[in-house]
C-alpha cells in the first residue's frame, strides 16, 4: 500500500529504505496470518462452548497452522463451520468499527490497516474452504464427512475470495508499501513484531 497507516506529517517525510519496507511487509503479513488464525479458531471455540462440546487442545502458533481439537462434540457441523464464518465476520466488524472511528476522529489513521486485514482474512478463508475440499485439508475434510456439499464450499470460497479482492481493490495504491515513510514503516514493523511475539506467547500458554 502507499500507506497502510496514513502519514499525518504536514511535510513530505523521507521514504523508508528498501530493506525496511521489505521487513515491514513480511512482518505485516506474518501478523495478519496469526490474527486470521485467531479469528478462525475463536469461531470454533465459541461454537464448541455454546454447543456443549469439550475442547482437548488448541494449536495457535504463528509458525504453523492453527487447529482446535475436540474431545467430544454434540454438533460437529456447527463447530466446523463456525471457524471460517467467524474468520471473515470478525475482521469485517473490526474494519467497520475502524471506519466509524475514522469518521468521528480525523486523527484516527488506522482504517486502511483494518481494511487490509479484512481482505487478507476473506481471501485466506475463501481459498481454504473453496479449494481445500480437493485434498480434504483440515476443516474441509470434516465438512465433507459431515455431509456438506462441495458446491456449498466452492460458492462460499468464491464469495469470500471475491469480497477479499474487493476490499483490497478499495485500498487502491494504499495496498502497496512503495511510498512508505521511515516513521510509518517503523511503527508498522514494531506493531507487527509485537503481534507475532504475542502469538508465540499465546501458543506457549495454550500448550
Mean pLDDT for the chain overall: 90
In this prediction, residue 117 carries a pLDDT of: 95
Q: Where are the extended beta strands (E) located within the chain?
A: 54-59, 67-72
Per-residue model confidence as pLDDT tens digits over 160-195:
999 999 999 988 776 666 677 888 889 889 999 999
Give the pLDDT mean for 17-25.
87
**What percent of the chain has pLDDT above 70?**
91
**pLDDT of 126 higher than 90:** yes
Q: Where are the extended beta strands (E) located within 36-149?
A: 54-59, 67-72
- d(CA 41, CA 82) in angstroms, rounded, equals 9
- d(CA 179, CA 20) in angstroms, rounded, equals 12
Give the pLDDT mean for 16-24.
86
* C-beta of residue 140 within 8 angstroms of C-beta of residue 128: yes
In this prediction, residue 10 carries a pLDDT of: 44
In this prediction, residue 180 carries a pLDDT of: 76
- d(CA 114, CA 32) in angstroms, rounded, equals 10
User: Cα 104 vs. chain centroid, distance in angstroms?
Assistant: 25
Residues ≥6 apart with Cβ < 8 Å to 105? none
* C-beta of residue 68 within 8 angstroms of C-beta of residue 80: no
Residues in the chain, overall count: 207
Per-residue model confidence as pLDDT tens digits over 37-84:
999 999 999 999 999 999 999 999 999 999 999 999 999 999 999 999
In this prediction, residue 55 carries a pLDDT of: 94
- Entry pTM: 0.89
* C-beta of residue 40 within 8 angstroms of C-beta of residue 84: yes
pLDDT-derived band at 11 (thresholds 50, 70, 90) equals: low
* C-beta of residue 41 within 8 angstroms of C-beta of residue 55: no
In this prediction, residue 174 carries a pLDDT of: 67
* C-beta of residue 192 within 8 angstroms of C-beta of residue 27: yes
Amino acid at each position: 500500500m502507499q500507506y497502510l497507516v496514513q502519514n499525518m506529517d504536514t511535510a513530505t517525510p523521507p521514504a523508508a529504505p528498501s530493506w525496511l519496507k521489505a521487513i515491514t511487509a513480511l512482518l505485516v503479513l506474518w501478523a495478519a496470518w496469526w490474527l486470521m488464525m485467531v479469528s478462525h479458531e475463536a469461531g470454533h471455540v465459541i461454537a464448541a462452548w455454546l454447543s456443549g462440546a469439550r475442547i482437548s487442545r488448541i494449536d495457535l502458533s504463528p509458525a504453523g497452522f492453527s487447529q482446535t481439537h475436540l474431545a467430544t462434540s454434540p454438533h460437529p457441523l456447527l463447530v466446523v463451520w463456525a471457524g471460517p464464518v467467524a474468520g471473515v465476520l470478525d475482521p469485517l466488524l473490526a474494519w467497520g468499527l475502524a471506519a466509524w472511528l475514522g469518521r468521528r476522529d480525523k486523527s484516527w489513521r488506522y482504517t486502511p490497516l483494518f481494511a487490509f486485514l479484512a481482505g487478507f482474512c476473506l481471501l485466506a478463508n475463501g481459498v481454504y474452504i473453496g479449494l481445500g475440499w480437493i485434498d480434504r485439508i483440515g476443516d474441509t475434510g470434516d465438512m465433507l464427512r459431515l455431509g456438506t456439499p462441495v458446491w456449498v464450499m466452492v460458492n462460499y470460497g468464491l464469495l469470500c475470495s471475491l469480497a477479499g479482492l474487493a476490499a483490497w481493490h478499495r485500498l487502491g495504491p494504499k495496498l502497496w508499501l512503495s511510498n512508505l515513510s521511515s516513521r510509518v514503516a517503523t511503527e508498522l514493523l514494531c506493531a507487527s513484531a509485537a503481534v507475532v511475539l504475542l502469538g508465540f506467547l499465546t501458543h506457549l500458554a495454550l500448550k
